[in-house]
Amino acid sequence: MAAQTHPMLGANGLSIVAAAVRDGEFHCKSHNDRVSAASAMAHRYLTRDAKDSNLFRPGDNAADLLDRARTLGKLPDADAASLPERKVATVRDPQTVDAGNRLRNLDEGTVLALMESFKAYSQQQPIVVYGREADAVVRLGAGGHRLEASRRLGIKVLCFHADGDELDRQLCEIDENLIRADLTPSDKALFLARRKEIYLIKHPETAKGAAQANASNAAQGRGGQIVRDAKTFTAATAQATGQDERTIRRDVERGEKISVAAIQMLRGTVHDKGVTLDKLKRLETPEAQMVFARELIASDRAKKAETKEMRTAEQASNRESRMRMVNLIADHGRKSGYAMPRAAYPIGYADPPWQQEAWSDETGQDKGLKYPSMTVEAIKALCAGDKSPFTRDAVLLLWVTANRLPDGIAVLEAWGFEFVTSLVWDKVNIGMGRWTRDRHEILLIGKRGTISLAPLPGTQPQSVHAEPKTEHSRKPVWYAEQIDRLWPGMRKLELFQRKGSLAEGDIRLNGMWDFWGNQAGSPESEVA
């Protein structure tokens, strides 16, 4: 499909589009103007104001039309001379751009998104800097996120060089922020109040209004029209940012009548709303405004504390109900004197006798284990499927050595559990090992079922516990204490453990723990 070619307008239409680009808008004063403007609007050279049918603004194709008309020699010299010079972007090292102190902090998500966009499509929208191309360092006007993305990627940054002083630079930054759609009411109040301060410094004659300024000019023989760049603050800001003048006046009034400290206190909170700012505005003194803002923040904190307390109590109550339900299910499980119990325990704790190759570099042979071991397949089959001693909703904690980690995960899965996390025992003293000198063991944690038995927030144990090892294979009582603390009142089964081997005072002797031991591959069980 051939590209669409937009037609060239007549002289009056071109002049109207040029005036709209030059001034930001054009107001029709005659029937001929309206006809020409309507024709230009049909080709997206202009857009019509929704409320004023005689008011037109530049459209998407306006700049292209004027460039084409200038090239063809159809644009009147007077119109061509009055148009602002079109900027040409240049590239420079982003490290030579001084960002200075910005009104808003950079948003990390925006920077990362721009980096991905730059990688795919390069930088499309230049930043605005103040200074000459030949300057070693220039000052950033607008485009902080684009500048930061370019710096991180280590690429050149596209720049538009603008002329002006520090006040112009600040106006540039403010205007870019005001165009954004994500500003809060507090942001707008602060930015517009600051913009008005700067604007009145640069154009003090506008403080008395456009009509008085025009009369003053006429009286002094300077003509009856005020210079174009000395519009009233509200009109100039509306043109620069595309905002409604009534909205601008409202936000400026908020920024001027509310203390900066009070606005900053509410900025970004749930009270950063126009209705709250209007209440602050009606208070006569900055002190009263600060008291009001502090009361709002204090009320928020009290509500959050109360909500957190209620949420914690509700979580505890819900968890207690879940644990009670799982215990009722466990009561229907089967326990017999010398066989593996069936579906009777919601909490499992196991230290399987893994087969190990304890190598010695001196002898190069397996030194053997001090207790009978089981193959991985035998351990997996022990509690698989219908032979499981655990309830449908359960938690399993399974010890595994570092070199057996994949086997430990496999056993968890064979027993019907999903791995969620782990604890680590730091044995303090270094042991043997072929690839590394082992100093730790891992306690895998798995879950299954639909009823959550996860610890309540704030009760979770630390992930690493350091305690010197004692005799071979004996695990610190600390882990059993954590299990009992996290799941009080729930029946627990410890596999590969004899009740008679526990020391006096062990938490597992409190009546909530049962034991099953498997020695030398034959069931010599004890279920208390």
Q: Which residue's entry shows tokens 């104001």?
A: 49
Amino acid at 170: Q
Question: Would you place residue 78 in the very low, low, confident or very high pLDDT band (cuts 50, 70, 90)?
Answer: confident
Helices 286-331 and 274-281 meet at what angle, rounded to 10? 140
Reduced DSSP (H G I as helix, E B as strand, rest coil) percent helix, strand, coil of the chain, to 5: 45, 15, 40
Q: Are 139 and 173 in contact (CB under 8 A)?
A: no
Which range among 4-13, 417-426, 450-459 shows the weakest confidence by mean pLDDT? Answer: 4-13
Whole-number pLDDT of residue 169: 87
More confident residue, 528 or 206: 206
Q: Are 310 and 290 in contact (CB under 8 A)?
A: no
Whole-number pLDDT of residue 357: 61
C-alpha separations of 58 from 18, 47, 66, 235 in Å = 9, 6, 11, 17
Residue range 220-238: mean pLDDT, rounded? 62
Tokens matching residue 149: 């993305």
Beta-bridge partners for 157? 92
More confident residue, 242 or 270: 270
Residue 134 CB partners (closer than 8 Å, separation 6+): none
pLDDT tens figures, 120-144: 888 888 989 998 888 899 999 889 9
Helices (H) and strands (E) in the chain, counts: 17, 17
| pLDDT at 206 exceeding the cut of 80 | no
Pick from 198, 194, 133: nearest CA to 163: 133
Residue 277 CB partners (closer than 8 Å, separation 6+): 185, 186, 189, 254, 258, 263, 266
More confident residue, 328 or 190: 190
Residue 362 CB partners (closer than 8 Å, separation 6+): none
Cα gap 244→29, rounded to integer Å: 22
Q: Among 3.40.50.300, 3.40.50.1000, 3.40.980.10, 3.40.50.150, what is the CATH number of 333-356+370-516?
A: 3.40.50.150
Question: Would you place residue 150 in the very low, low, confident or very high pLDDT band (cuts 50, 70, 90)?
Answer: very high
Whole-number pLDDT of residue 86: 66
Residue range 321-335: mean pLDDT, rounded? 68
Question: Would you place residue 524 in the very low, low, confident or very high pLDDT band (cuts 50, 70, 90)?
Answer: very low
Amino acid at 199: Y
Polymer length of the chain? 528
Beta-bridge partners for 332? none
| pLDDT at 406 exceeding the cut of 50 | yes
Cα gap 134→131, rounded to integer Å: 8
Residue range 292-304: mean pLDDT, rounded? 84
| pLDDT at 469 exceeding the cut of 60 | yes
Cα gap 297→17, rounded to integer Å: 52
- CA-derived radius of gyration, the chain: 38
Share of the chain above pLDDT 70, in %: 84
pLDDT tens figures, 80-96: 777 766 667 888 899 99
Q: Are 166 and 100 in contact (CB under 8 A)?
A: no
Whole-number pLDDT of residue 341: 84
pLDDT tens figures, 414-439: 999 999 999 999 999 888 778 888 89
Share of the chain above pLDDT 90, in %: 30
Whole-number pLDDT of residue 421: 96
Whole-number pLDDT of residue 332: 64
What rounded mean pLDDT belongs to the chain?
82
Residue range 161-190: mean pLDDT, rounded? 84
| pLDDT at 370 exceeding the cut of 60 | no
Q: DSSP character for 332?
A: T
Strand extents, DSSP E, 449-521: 464-466, 492-495, 513-516, 518-519
| pLDDT at 390 exceeding the cut of 60 | yes
Whole-number pLDDT of residue 473: 63
Residue 327, SS3 per DSSP: helix
Backbone angles phi, psi at 471, to 5 degrees: -70, 160
Q: Which residue's entry shows tokens 């509310």?
A: 258
Tokens matching residue 202: 């640069």
Whole-number pLDDT of residue 495: 93
More confident residue, 326 or 106: 106
| pLDDT at 327 exceeding the cut of 50 | yes
Question: Would you place residue 521 in the very low, low, confident or very high pLDDT band (cuts 50, 70, 90)?
Answer: very low
CATH 3.40.50.150-classified regions of the chain: 333-356+370-516
Residue range 386-401: mean pLDDT, rounded? 93
Count CA atoms closer than 13 A to 428's CA, side-chain side. 7
Beta carbons within 10 angstroms of residue 254's beta carbon: 22
C-alpha separations of 271 from 107, 158, 277, 290, 349 in Å = 21, 39, 8, 14, 50
| pLDDT at 399 exceeding the cut of 80 | yes
Whole-number pLDDT of residue 107: 83
CATH 1.10.10-classified regions of the chain: 11-72
* Fold of domain 11-72: Arc Repressor Mutant, subunit A (1.10.10)
